[in-house]
Amino acid sequence: MKKYALLQIAFFMVITMVFVQCKNPKTDDTPEETQIESSTSDVPSQVEAYLDSSDVKDIDTIETNIDEPEPIVAEKETKTEKPKTTVVAKPETTTEKPESPVVAKPETTVDSPKPVEIDKPTPVIVDEPQETVVEKPAAPVNAAFTMKSVKATVQGTSSLHEWKSNITKIEGKGTFQLEDEVVTLVKDAEIKITVKGIISEKGDKMDKKTYETFNSDKYPYITYSFNNAAVKTNDSQAVKMDANGTLNMAGVSKSVPISAVGKKLPNGDLHLTVSKKLKMTDFDMKPPVMLLGTIKVGDEVTVNFDFILSKS
């Protein structure tokens, strides 16, 4: 029984040596044979030593000691081979990736802003308003005008009653300044009244006193002249004209402002009305006295004009 057990141990050791040689092959064939022979030659010596021992129980311990190193050797060899492949592959991938994006980015950023141009919209915006501004304002046109029709009166008071005289002989001329067929200015205007054309409703006695007061033999005309009177017309064709002219009466000249209002007629004429109060004493004139001083004419008189100015 002991011999049979010893043979099993020897056989098992040979199998183990062969298994180890298969796991670790060598390039030279001759050393493998020497290793096998040496291992087999040691078997009889071990068997003899075992036979001299009297304790059979030691066989179990030897078998366990032989069985334990087999899995330990196999695990160590597999563990050393795996990390070699992973260590070599990782650094190669990391070095190649950052090179490509670094080269591509600066090329795109430099080229993108070049095709953008700013000069194209500027000539379009500048040219349009220049043309419209030049075309809109029309050059002013001058046209002569005459007084087409007129109604004028002089009214006053006396110690006895109020009185009124009609101005029957009156002339007017001047120049219109037109913009787009609209009168914007009256220039070089003159209104001329014949003193002996003033006719009173009270009769000849009143008229003689009027002519004496104006000294008509020496100063036969009353004139009023002005220049550059602005004319304003609104959307409803209402017209207003302000003028500051010179009134010459009985040989004395005074600056007298007037304000005329009216409307623009469909044919382009201007219909204007003026009402102005004057004092005879401002022009060195003495108010008339009649019937030995029992009737005295008031110093202040009111002149009214209603006339139409038309382009001639």
The residue ranges of every structural domain in the chain are 2-96, 141-311
Taking CA 259 as the corner, what is the angle to CA 256 and CA 260, rounded to the nearest 5 degrees? 130
Q: CA-to-CA distance for 166 and 198, rounded, in angstroms?
A: 6
User: Contact at 8 Å (CB) between 227 and 252?
Assistant: no
Q: What is the pTM of this model?
A: 0.55
Q: CA-to-CA distance for 102 and 100, rounded, in angstroms?
A: 6
Pick from 244, 248, 251, 245: nearest CA to 223: 248
The pLDDT of residue 24: 54
Q: CA-to-CA distance for 89 and 85, rounded, in angstroms?
A: 7
User: Contact at 8 Å (CB) between 39 and 14?
Assistant: yes
Task: Render pLDDT for 168-184 as a digit per residue (tens, 0 to 9).
Answer: 999 999 999 988 888 99
Distances (CA, A) of 195 to 219, 270, 303: 8, 26, 13
CATH topology of domain 141-311: Lipocalin (2.40.128)
The pLDDT of residue 10: 77
Q: CA-to-CA distance for 305 and 176, rounded, in angstroms?
A: 19
Residues of the chain with pLDDT under 70: 1-4, 18, 20-138
Please return the burial class of 186, using the count of CB atoms within 10 Å of its CB with bins 0-12, 13-18 and 19+: buried
Q: CA-to-CA distance for 307 and 148, rounded, in angstroms?
A: 7
